[in-house]
Amino acid sequence: MRAVDLIEKKKRGKALAEEEIRFLINGFTAGSVPDYQMAAWAMAVCFQGMTAAETAALTAAMAESGDRADLTGLGGRTVDKHSTGGVGDKTTLIVAPIVASLGGIVAKMSGRGLGHTGGTVDKLESIPGYQTELSPAAFVRQAQDVGLVVAGQSGNLAPADKKLYALRDVTATVDSIPLIASSVMSKKLAAGSASIVLDVKTGSGAFMKTPEKAAELAEEMVAIGRAAGRRVSALITNMDLPLGSAVGNGLEVEEAIAVLQGRGPRDLRQLCLHLAAEMLSLCRGWTPEEALAQAETALDGGRALEKMKEWIAAQGGDLEAFAAGRRARRIEGRPLAAPKSGYITRMDAEKIGISAVLLGAGRAAKGDAVDHDAGLRILKKTGSCVEAGEVIAELYPGAGRDPAEAEACYLAGLTIEEGAPEPQPLIYQKIGGLE
């Protein structure tokens, strides 16, 4: 078999056989298929697409290219969640303890921030002592003992995807639905949970800018997961504005705790309850209505908060030191004023995410350190009526950061007009679920 013939075949719009896809992926992982051939094939996929069988074969080949978590000893209640990335998305910190407090087993590998989007591992590292690197044995043990573990992605999980993603990033081949679907699902399948809930974001802060495109991606991911024998569902959710109020690592942990204490922003609470209900429905076999009612009870009764404390302590984190540290550092926000009066009709979530990155909450280059106290708090969101000069946000610049560029970026992301905007849904659609 020759890679050049397979690229030619795809270029002409023909489907590759499973063994041909395995030849490409195994060769690319081992180094015998060079970057330039893989990039040419990825570009051909961008133009010609892939059949469902090809996408399933690509996902399986990438999932099998490295280590796989073996969670079979934990039974059928293992459940994972994946967000396609957003601004202010701290849902894992809330959803995972709700689900674990009701008998689901959440064994999750999470990532770091990427571009303007935040990452759960960065958020958790703002808690003093929290260990994100666990051995495979410690990972499974904690899942068994606590019902909840969240660690960084093991270095050798789906290495073919890691290599291919890095190549796609620099060859303009990221935005292909079959390539994104197989990339996400290869990691989810390798991570081993029996059930998977996907939070597919749509809007100005998301990869998929329209609900229709997000639904197309979700359909593909659900089909891949089901073909691999997993229970899968996806919610298409709004990322046309940031989720909740806080953007930035320590600020987001604080906000997640507030929701677990029965406070916090309503949009965040609602989305978390629905994601938790999906996870519970899949892993406990409950109806969606029953699962939602159980999730509300666990959140409002404080059970989920207790589970969060148990989980963080099991991974070495000290929530009291986290709160005391933030109090001691007297972190004060810089007020940002509305430039004119009117309704906020649009917030460009990507620009707001970039504003948080400029304040030090994210990375300009791979390997940069993040400042856990940096970020911003949104006081007025889309639909709010504001007066010129009214404080609409608070910015928290990291040490040594000049907030001027972040302020300009935040304001560039706002549209203020005379008329009130149409309200937007928080959740557009559900795809998949229990069969």
Catalytic positions, written as ranges: 82, 161, 168, 183, 187
| Dihedral-angle region of residue 109 (phi above 0 means left; psi in -120 to 50 means alpha; beta otherwise) | beta
Residue 38 one-letter amino acid = M
Q: How far is the CB of 183 from ligand URA (least distance, A)?
A: 3
Question: How many whole angstroms separate alpha carbon 356 and alpha carbon 198?
Answer: 25
Residues sharing a CB contact under 8 Å with residue 305, sequence separation 6 or more, in sequence order? 97, 257, 260, 261
180 vs 386, beta carbon nearer ligand URA: 180
Question: How many whole angstroms separate alpha carbon 172 and alpha carbon 33?
Answer: 19
- Contact residue for ligand URA among 87, 151, 180, 347 (CB under 6 A): 180
Residue 112 one-letter amino acid = R
Residues 411-430 touching ligand URA, rule: CB under 6 A, are none
Q: How far is the CB of 186 from ligand URA (least distance, A)?
A: 9
Q: How far is the CB of 178 from ligand URA (least distance, A)?
A: 10
Q: How far is the CB of 435 from ligand URA (least distance, A)?
A: 25
* 191 lines the binding site for ligand URA (CB under 6 A): no
174 vs 227, beta carbon nearer ligand URA: 174
SS (H, E, C) 279-321: HHHHHHCCCHHHHHHHHHHHHHCCHHHHHHHHHHHHCCCCHHH
Q: How far is the CB of 163 from ligand URA (least distance, A)?
A: 12
SS3 content of the chain, % helix, strand, coil (to 5): 50, 15, 35
Closest CA to 381 of 302, 267, 225: 267
* 184 lines the binding site for ligand URA (CB under 6 A): yes
Residue number, nearest CB to ligand URA? 183
77 vs 82, beta carbon nearer ligand URA: 82
Residues 98-117 touching ligand URA, rule: CB under 6 A, are none
59 vs 183, beta carbon nearer ligand URA: 183
Per DSSP, what are the bridge partners of residue 199? 83, 235
Residues 156-175 touching ligand URA, rule: CB under 6 A, are 165, 174
Pull the structure tokens for residue 388: 């010129």
* 127 lines the binding site for ligand URA (CB under 6 A): no
179 vs 376, beta carbon nearer ligand URA: 179
Question: How many whole angstroms separate alpha carbon 98 and alpha carbon 39?
Answer: 42
Other beta carbons less than 10 A from residue 329's beta carbon: 10
* 206 lines the binding site for ligand URA (CB under 6 A): no
Binding residues with ligand URA: total (CB under 6 A): 6
Residue whose entry in the numeric block shows the structure tokens 């940096």: 374
155 vs 262, beta carbon nearer ligand URA: 155
Pull the structure tokens for residue 331: 């972190």
- Contact residue for ligand URA among 92, 117, 120, 183 (CB under 6 A): 183
Q: Which helix or strand (DSSP H or E) is residue 149 part of? A: strand 148-152
Footprint of ligand URA (CB under 6 A): 165, 174, 179-180, 183-184
